[in-house]
Structure 1
Amino acid sequence: MAIRGVWITSTDSQVLHSRQNIAEAMAFLAQTGFNVVFPDVWNKGFTLYPSQIMRSLFDIEINPQYQDRDPLAEIIVEARRVGIKVIPWFEYGFASSYNANGGTILAKKPEWVARDINGNLLKKNGFEWMNALDPQVQEFMLSLVLEVVQNYDIDGIQGDDRLPALPCEGGYDSNTVERYRQTFNCHPPQNPKERQWLQWRADILTNFLARLYQEVKAINPNLIVSMSPNIYDWGLKEYLQDSQAWLERGLVDIIHPQIYRRDFASYKQVVDRVTQQFNREQLAKLSPGILIKLGSYRINAEHLRQAIAYNRSCGIQGEVFFFYEGLREDNDALGKVLRSLPYTDYSTQPASDLNRGIQGLLRFLRNRF
């Protein structure tokens, strides 16, 4: 299907604060032409649904902010009411905390810690990490994903730039070092980006994704496995995300590389590079992630129109926006932009009409800007 999606976050957002907010948000999205939501279900070491796994391991069933509620169940009901699909998003992936020294998880499970070359807790851009290369940590992460798959009427699951991922500076814990030594008869190099060391760790994460994909499909073959990695090959070099291998091995059903650029020229440049990396079959799975809001930044209307039109001109049939609140600022300004296209028509028109509409929009944009 053509993805017209949006991420629902638990940070800088009011959507998950009440059932009423959720219902209102789903109605707004349906009216604006969206057909998929990616709600956050794993954030800062807490689930956003009641988890028996978290209760048994950490005695914390759900993020305390949502005690006595189940935001995921509420989203599913309200999204279904208006014909929107739900793909839960495991936002934090293998990150345990943000500027919290490992948080609840690593306080209880210090053996799960990821370490840098100096033996310190692995931290990058404020995020502290579990060791994504460790079999026990992988088992834990997989168990959370399968818990959601088994217990909720969902349409798929989603990983991102932290699932599966690990900052390239990690992997220097004693167990991983020993595994590497047994494989290559030498210790890992001090340079975390040395080619063999980098690829060996990336392959471990790719194999984890293969297992996740297989186990999700074993429960329900119709579920979508969606991934939103960093852009290749930056994501490989910095976070061990070999998304090219994921595609070649058929481990993703749809992929949303995070093309988070703040001007159209930069966005176009990355789209051109990404589409050259994909073959025709892979291109059908591509729905780029577009940044519409972060902190004080919000995409302007012209950039938004240009990005969507350029996607269609490249054969890209959908996108996912980060994140919902950006659509609602200034009296729904960006939502009104999408309705004016109208956004939903991009995927429901016959191909000939669609192509004419795209060309017309591109001419309009060239003439105006």
Structure 2
Amino acid sequence: MNSRSNLAAGLLRLAELGFNTIYPAVWQRGYTLYPSEVAKQLTGAAVLPNSPFVGRDLLAEIIELAQPLNIRVIPWFEYGLMVPPGSPLARQYPDLLLLDARGNSQRIQGASGRQDPNVWLNPCHDRVRQFMVDLIGDLVDRYPVSGIQLDDHFSFPIELGYDAPGEKLRQRFTRQLFDRHPFANWDRWRAKQLTTLLQQIVRSIRSIRSNCIVSISPNPLSFSKSRYLVDWQQWCDLGLIDELVLQVYRDRLDTFNSEIVKSEVRAIKTKIPTLIGILTGLRTKPIATDLIRSQVNSTIANRFDGYACFFYETLLHECLSPTLVVRDSQQLIDIFR
């Protein structure tokens, strides 16, 4: 996306391989990658500063170039409620951030003891809710997109929620409960706040354009619910989502297959279009073409509605760093055509 010419070449290559939808990142690191006055009001910049997107309307370019190729555009709000701690959004509005039980906005991740490099906006806070509703609604209103996508960062990390208002509610719930799971209702309350925010976003979207797809790309259900208070099964039952792109990022085919045949996955694909997100690589983690082929074939064999390849430029490049290694063109044609 760093230049229009690269964008045109990349979209053409995807079209040649048979892809019919792209999910371009539009919200990263506390900024939009397209011009947004809504974002500017809170972040101080209409587009990510010091980036290749300054002076351009990236999303307008993508839509213009994708249309003649019959590729749908579903902008991806990649960072969801997550922002870097050094971003103006986090530094200027610390009262909008979630806190852990010790009053820290950066949580400790699991048994590793590592600190999360990001902080999280509070989905219970009215100003956060209004910002997310306005940000997404404004995009849907201004651009002829096919839908929008939220992912695993649209969530409520289990360690967080101990800001002053949240702590009062937690203590009230704890005093009222007498079963063996003293925080069960507290977890449900926090999950409900996230669901309420999604309901507000969806209501706004559908008031602007009723046929706009609401797509989500979460982790598998057990992990989503236990670590991030995301119950995408319930969101489907409530009619809040139109498409599920399940992130099944696995290094082995057997663990990949075990995830896509789970009962909750089989159930949801009878209700809404359900796709499998396949990891094609990270900036510093190459994925072998043969593994991609196996996972694509397994997705097709299990009769999903499609698959989405994540991300950067790793679908077309086996390695990005330290040396760029292009994937074999014929192998890609064999997999996708």
TM-score by length of 1: 0.81
1:227 aligns to what SS in structure 2?
A: strand
Q: What is the aligned partner in structure 2 of residue 313 from structure 1? A: 301
Residue 174 in structure 1 maps to residue 161 in structure 2: no
**Alignment check: 8 A CA contact 2:233 2:264 kept:** no
2:38 to 53, 57, 62: 53
AA matched with 2:70: G
Deviates most, 75-84 or 289-298: 289-298
Residue 93 in structure 1 maps to residue 80 in structure 2: yes
**Alignment check: 8 A CA contact 2:277 2:309 kept:** yes
AA matched with 2:225: L
Residue 148 in structure 1 maps to residue 133 in structure 2: no
Q: How does 1:33-112 map to 2 (within 5 A)?
A: 33-64=18-49, 65=51, 66-97=53-84, 101-112=85-96
**Alignment check: 8 A CA contact 1:287 1:316 kept:** yes
**Alignment check: 8 A CA contact 2:26 2:78 kept:** yes
What RMSD in Å do the two structures reach over aligned CA positions? 2.4
Q: Which runs of 5+ in 2 are unaligned?
A: 110-115, 319-324
Q: How does 1:202-241 map to 2 (within 5 A)?
A: 202-241=191-230
**Alignment check: 8 A CA contact 2:27 2:78 kept:** yes
**Alignment check: 8 A CA contact 2:268 2:274 kept:** no
1:256 aligns to what SS in structure 2?
A: strand
Distance change (3 Å), C-alpha of 1:86 and 1:280: closer
1:61 aligns to what SS in structure 2?
A: coil
**Alignment check: 8 A CA contact 1:287 1:319 kept:** yes
Q: What is the aligned partner in structure 2 of residue 243 from structure 1? A: 232
2:160 aligns to what SS in structure 1?
A: coil
Following superposition, the deviation at residue 316 of structure 1 comes to 0.7
**Alignment check: 8 A CA contact 1:326 1:334 kept:** no
Distance 2:312 2:43 in 1: 31
| Partner deviation per Cα, 1:142-184 (whole Å, 9 max, x = no partner) | 1111111111111100000011x021111100122234556x4
Q: What is the aligned partner in structure 2 of residue 4 from structure 1? A: none
AA matched with 1:302: D
2:274 aligns to what SS in structure 1?
A: coil
1:159 aligns to what SS in structure 2?
A: strand
Residue 136 in structure 1 maps to residue 120 in structure 2: no
| Partner deviation per Cα, 1:54-104 (whole Å, 9 max, x = no partner) | 22233211112121111111111111121111000001111121xxx3521
Q: Which runs of 5+ in 1 are unaligned?
A: 1-15, 345-369
Q: What is the aligned partner in structure 2 of residue 367 from structure 1? A: none
AA matched with 1:35: N
Q: What is the aligned partner in structure 2 of residue 339 from structure 1? A: 333
Distance change (3 Å), C-alpha of 1:188 and 1:140: farther
Distance 1:115 1:94 in 2: 13
1:199 to 176, 185, 188: 188
**Alignment check: 8 A CA contact 1:181 1:188 kept:** no
Amino-acid identity (%): 31
Distance 1:222 1:268 in 2: 33
2:5 to 20, 23, 26: 20
Following superposition, the deviation at residue 334 of structure 1 comes to 6.2
| Partner deviation per Cα, 1:40-61 (whole Å, 9 max, x = no partner) | 1100011001111122233211
Following superposition, the deviation at residue 135 of structure 1 comes to 2.1
AA matched with 1:269: S
Distance 1:240 1:258 in 2: 16
2:254 aligns to what SS in structure 1?
A: helix
Distance 1:193 1:78 in 2: 54
Higher relative contact order structure (alpha carbons within 8 Å, sequence separation ≥ 6): 1
Following superposition, the deviation at residue 256 of structure 1 comes to 1.0
1:290 aligns to what SS in structure 2?
A: strand
Distance 1:188 1:51 in 2: 45
Following superposition, the deviation at residue 202 of structure 1 comes to 0.8
Count of paired positions: 321
